[in-house]
Structure 1
Amino acid sequence: MCYHVSNESDPEELKAEFKLPMDKVEQFKKRYDFNGFEKPFLPVISKENPRIIDMYRWRLVPHWIKEEKDFKANTLNARNDELFEKSSYRQYWENRCLIICTGFFEPHYPDLNGKEHESWYIKPKHKKYFMLGGIYNEWNGMKTFSIVTTDASPLMAEVHNDGKRQPLVLKGNAALAWLVPNLTQDEMKSLMVYQYPDEELEAYRVIDGIYNAKQDTNLPEAIKPYERPPFDVLSMYGV
């Protein structure tokens, strides 16, 4: 699953990096932690208009939904193995986009039999941004998207060790191919097995609470390596 991403950069940095103009800049926000369940707007490049960076809202809403409050499905992510069959997605596989972020978060379970988990952050080692493969739909005049998820790479399977899933991270020709207008389903399936090289990823534990909706994690510490709080051993003995 991929329910939290970061983008702590400015619009000018995005435009300079991708050499593209940006639409709807007023919807842009920079945050250390975007919670998908809050349905934020994020910068995307879409098949529909790959010559601009646009702002789409996270959580795909199918066209047949009248009131979003009545739509109970979790469509923050679209599994690659459900994309062409599941009713929430099957009409939108041709609507592909790239979601721009500086990193994403995943839970890690030190004990797979336990409930306690750590928050881990994954970012590109040599670049500023990730491009995540997604699909979108226009609903009530607003573009809404889901992030496509795939089987985890060896590194990501160690991080997200309960579900062994990860977002579809694309780069170079794979990212360009995702925006080709007339891809077939078989060609799209081939793209969805692409794995961003593990040696180009940086993954580390960050502050706890990323997945706690009651905790404010829009903090610089959210994307910095975890530092264990100081522990006074002598205090255990009343010294």
Structure 2
Amino acid sequence: MCYHTALTKRPEVIEQHLRIPFIDVDVYEPYYYQNGFTHDYMYIIPQNESTHIYPANWGLIPKYQLNDPEKFYSNFKYNTLNARSEDIFKTTTYKNHIHERCLIYCDGFFEPHAHPDGSKQAYFCYIPDATEQDGRKLFCFAGLYSSDGRMSYYTTLLTTEADAFFSEIHNEAKRMPFVLDDEYLKQWISNDLSDKDVKEIIKEGYTNDKFSAYPVTKDFYSRKKSIDKNSPNILKEVRTTLF
């Protein structure tokens, strides 16, 4: 599972990554922490409009529910923040969106590590990049989306079985978000992919870049409204017992 992300890059950095502009750059707001359950904007390149970057509410809304997004989000029976890549061709929620794929931009995300005493420690996960001012590479999750045809988008990111590194970090669920290798970015949003091609990218397309991770403040799990998690402090490394 991946329910918390970060995207702190300036808009021009994001636009240069694939040489694609925002549909409306004034809508873009960098963030240090986003909780998927608030359904705020992620920033995507959708397959049907791949010449621009669009804001998309985090949480895919199936076609049959697009007439009332708020009602769908308020029904806690449904969690469409993540889609298991192994199941997207099987589940009713996602199989109708196989050919509505997107790239979801991020430069980091948070995963929980469970300790034997039942406590959890949040880790910030990122791809190191010395050429970036903040030392973190911009990357793309493989995603699916839905749209009401009136410029409103709703998205989910794919997950997959954790590799050795993320099995240590996310040691209960042992899942990780599906981060596409740069080689597959344009292919993922191509209109020419068959179902077989999509399955092949899911099989072979996970990034070859190596992730790093470090523990962050205990405030990450605080429910106090006085704590602003969307601030640089949430990304600061803290000392903790190593797992």
TM-score category by the smaller chain? 0.7 to 0.9
The within-5 A match list for 1:15-26 is 15-26=15-26
Residue in structure 1 matched with residue 190 of structure 2 by the alignment: 180
Give CA-to-partner distance per residue, 1:185-225, whole Å, 9 cap, x none.
22212222333236x21111111243445453112122221
In the aligned structure 2, how far is the partner of 1:189 from the partner of 1:222? 36
Residue in structure 1 matched with residue 132 of structure 2 by the alignment: none
Which structure 1 residue ranges, 4+ long, deviate > 4 Å from structure 2?
Answer: 211-215
Residue in structure 2 matched with residue 134 of structure 1 by the alignment: 143
In the aligned structure 2, how far is the partner of 1:174 from the partner of 1:162? 29
Residue in structure 1 matched with residue 81 of structure 2 by the alignment: 76
Give CA-to-partner distance per residue, 1:16-44, whole Å, 9 cap, x none.
33322211223211110011111111221
In the aligned structure 2, how far is the partner of 1:68 from the partner of 1:46? 19
Pick the structure with greater CA Rg. Answer: 1
Q: Which has the higher helix share?
A: 2
In the aligned structure 1, how far is the partner of 2:223 from the partner of 2:153? 25
Sequence identity percentage: 29
Shift of the 106–156 alpha-carbon distance from structure 1 to 2, 3 Å rule, reads same
Q: Greater CA deviation, 28-37 or 201-210?
A: 201-210
Q: Which amino acid aligns with 2:56?
A: Y
| Cα contact 1:119–1:209 (8 A) shared by 2 | no
In the aligned structure 2, how far is the partner of 1:179 from the partner of 1:69? 28
**Structure 1 residue 167 and structure 2 residue 207: aligned?**
no
Shift of the 216–115 alpha-carbon distance from structure 1 to 2, 3 Å rule, reads farther
Secondary structure class of the residue paired with 1:192: helix
In the aligned structure 1, how far is the partner of 2:99 from the partner of 2:223? 33
Residue in structure 2 matched with residue 207 of structure 1 by the alignment: 217
Question: What residue ranges of structure 1 are gaps of 5+ in the alignment?
Answer: 229-239
**Structure 1 residue 57 and structure 2 residue 57: aligned?**
yes
* Alpha-carbon offset, residue 46 of structure 1: 2.1
The within-5 A match list for 1:78-93 is 78-93=83-98
TM-score (norm 2): 0.85
Q: Which amino acid aligns with 2:191?
A: P
In the aligned structure 2, how far is the partner of 1:135 from the partner of 1:36? 15
Q: Greater CA deviation, 161-170 or 59-68?
A: 59-68
Give CA-to-partner distance per residue, 1:39-82, whole Å, 9 cap, x none.
11122122223222222211111121143343221000111122
Residue in structure 2 matched with residue 196 of structure 1 by the alignment: 207
Question: What residue ranges of structure 2 are gaps of 5+ in the alignment?
Answer: 130-135
Q: Which amino acid aligns with 2:238?
A: Y
In the aligned structure 1, how far is the partner of 2:142 from the partner of 2:55? 15
Residue in structure 1 matched with residue 6 of structure 2 by the alignment: 6
Kindly report the root-mean-square deviation, in angstroms, between the aligned alpha carbons of the 2 structures: 1.9
**Structure 1 residue 219 and structure 2 residue 231: aligned?**
yes
Q: Which amino acid aligns with 1:149?
A: T
Q: Greater CA deviation, 50-59 or 214-223?
A: 214-223
| Cα contact 2:181–2:208 (8 A) shared by 1 | no
In the aligned structure 2, how far is the partner of 1:146 from the partner of 1:152? 18
TM-score (norm 1): 0.86
In the aligned structure 2, how far is the partner of 1:140 from the partner of 1:195? 30
In the aligned structure 1, how far is the partner of 2:57 from the partner of 2:42? 6
| Cα contact 1:3–1:37 (8 A) shared by 2 | yes
| Cα contact 2:181–2:206 (8 A) shared by 1 | no
Shift of the 187–21 alpha-carbon distance from structure 1 to 2, 3 Å rule, reads same
Secondary structure class of the residue paired with 1:99: strand
